[in-house]
Amino acid sequence: MSRERIKELTEFLNHHAYQYYVLDMPTISDYEYDMALRELRKLEELYPEYRDPASPTVRVGGSVAEGFAEVEHEVPMQSLNDAFSKEEVMEFDARVAAALGEPYGYCVEYKIDGLSVSLEYVNGEFVRGSTRGDGKKGEDVTDNLKTVRAIPLRLKDSLPYLEVRGEVFIGKQNFEKLNSARKKEGAPLFANPRNAAAGSLRQLDSSVAAKRHLDIYIFNIQKVEGRSFTSHREGLLYLAEQGFKVVPDFRVFASAEEAFNRVLEIGRERETLSFDIDGAVMKIDSLTQREQLGSTSKCPRWAIAYKFPAETKKTKLIDIVLQVGRTGAMTPNAVLEPVFVAGSTVQRATLHNLDYIREKDIKIGDFVYVRKAGDIIPEITEVAKEERCGNERDFVMPEFCPECGERIERAEGEAVYRCTGGNCPAQLQRNLEHFASRDAMDIEGLGPAIVEQLMDAELLQSAADLFVLTKEQLTGLERFGEKSAQNLIDAIDKAKDRDLSRLLFALGIRLNGQRSSMLLAKAFKTMERLQTATVEELMLIHEIGEKTAVYVYEYFQNPHNQALIEKLRVSGVNMEHREAVGQTDILAGKKFVITGKFDDMSRNEITALVEQNGGAVAGSVSKQTDYVIAGHDAGSKLTKAESLGITVINLDDLQTMIQGN
């Protein structure tokens, strides 16, 4: 009886999960589903031997991995060539026509903005899921993918083997809910749905991924045994029959002109979709013709991705307020009527400085167009001047800091106004946030909300106060229990052992970034030696200019800063440079630019790898650039590099260079 009931409940729940998560047509209430799931979970605890591998109870996650195993993709997960104009699409079509010499059709699909994954099935059972990685090798994230309820754990047909490719994403509404919850918890907000999906899929604790409402659309058959298809469309229809949530509203057209019209139509639909897209894809529909066209080492010759320009929305600029930075810089910020742009609600946008406001003729009360630079940072692109009614007003820079009341000054030759107050609380808060940030001392759990809370409790007057905090002080504060207090104390204690280069960057010395901090640490070895360095000695270091040298020298001559460093030293904070394991000078003299998206490493991690081995990383491509490190979806920097004849490499190439080959 128990065995039959477990089977009955499993089939019932899987059927209704398919109705809800794949077809979006629920036929029972959430309460009925939850009650059935609760009953099944209890029965499985009593009779674990009867538990089905495709049981819906595996969807909640719970296993914690030590790391992700590497997966070698039998079928490479290639990226697509991009097009940004109709002319580029038609040039692609001309190459296809010349290569095929016969009629052909295009399947047009949404280009979902998420994280690409591979799903593998053996005898109809889901056995492994992996990230794209570099296209050849990815990471095994099976446990996390099992929490994605739109992924079938068992297919209707028991094919010997099936591998499909899909895009994991978070829908717009769920992303808003996720960020709203994180805001209440004081956790850092995700910049956009794609970052949230990528971060969720790479959680070592699968129960975290289960709470993130991950979704998926399947868009390709990578490999199949026991079944054959003649067209891409036929394959997608079959996958839908098997229970997959395939990319919606795909259509086949007989010509490139018709296909491109559909691409433009998708662009107009973009705002109304419940998920983010960053373009549309045109694929040759015939699988035989795909074989005939073949692929390069990185991209198929039978598909192209048309990339849409950054999404722009119009809204009203309600006010302009000043934000005080860690160096006292006063940055004007636009306060906007909330508007949904590129996956999240935007209420603020930086206006950089007064000159920028004057140049764009921005007035309080204007209607403005907003977009996200790089799909992350909100910015105003232009003013809708034709909608002015005469009630708009100019922004005037105040004489005094809104945070501390001290005078605001603008140094000759600078675009930025600065607060002159030495004890400005806003400067202190930004300094502490920077000090604890990932690229600086990397104190996990010490985000802006916690910094503000500790300052309000008068527990922090400088960065040195962090290292004398006690668990007892923290547990007396709101949102701090025994465990969370101990976690923060442990994270602060761990930060004491960071390298001197991290500490130098954390101190927030003007014009001193991560690169110059590393150069200073390598050259002087100890904080004590650096504190006695002259401007001339500092300028002897290659890449340290006069302005940076002067600011570093003046920082260490300031009695307030000297006292801070001494307090840090007494608290046990490391003051020496330690050569990183594997550190070399093999890239010395070489300049790199990083562009595109990377699944295996962040841009900061790639930058650190280059600098650790003697290379330099710049933000823009020029004739002085030696190499461009390109990920997938690389844009204008890649185009410029190719036009200048600069060598373009991927992460594998970089690792090969570092290994001396």
Choose among 508, 506, 494, 503: nearest CA to 524.
503
Q: Are strands 106-112 and 251-253 parallel, antiparallel or unpaired?
A: antiparallel
Q: Are strands 616-618 and 647-649 parallel, antiparallel or unpaired?
A: unpaired
Q: Dihedral of the CA atoms 341, 344, 347, 350 (nearest 10)?
A: -70
Residue 84 Cα to chain centre, angstroms: 23
Which DSSP symbol is given to 412?
A: T
**Cβ-proximal residues to 92 (8 Å cutoff; 6+ apart), any chain:** 81, 83, 282, 304
Active-site residue 111, yes or no? yes
Residues 70, 140 contacting (CB under 8 angstroms): yes
Give the type of residue at 641.
Answer: A
Buried b (16+ CB within 10 A) or exposed e, 397-410: eeeebebbeeebee
Which residue in this structure is represented by tokens 């979006």? 24
Q: Return d(Cα 590, Cα 582) in angstroms, integer.
A: 18
Angle at 121 between CA 118 and CA 125, to 5 degrees: 135
Provide φ and ψ at 608, rounded to 5°. Answer: -60, -40
Residue 95 Cα to chain centre, angstroms: 35
Determine the longest span between alpha carbons in the chain, in angstroms. 86
Neighbours of 512 (CB within 10 A): 20
Classify burial at 391, counting beta carbons within 10 Å of its beta carbon; exposed 0-12, middle 13-18, buried 19 or more: exposed
- Helix or strand or coil: residue 26? coil
Give the type of residue at 340.
Answer: F
Which residue in this structure is represented by tokens 């289960």? 210
Per the residue annotation, which of 7, 111, 597, 623 is the catalytic one? Answer: 111
- Helix or strand or coil: residue 121? strand
Active site residues: 111
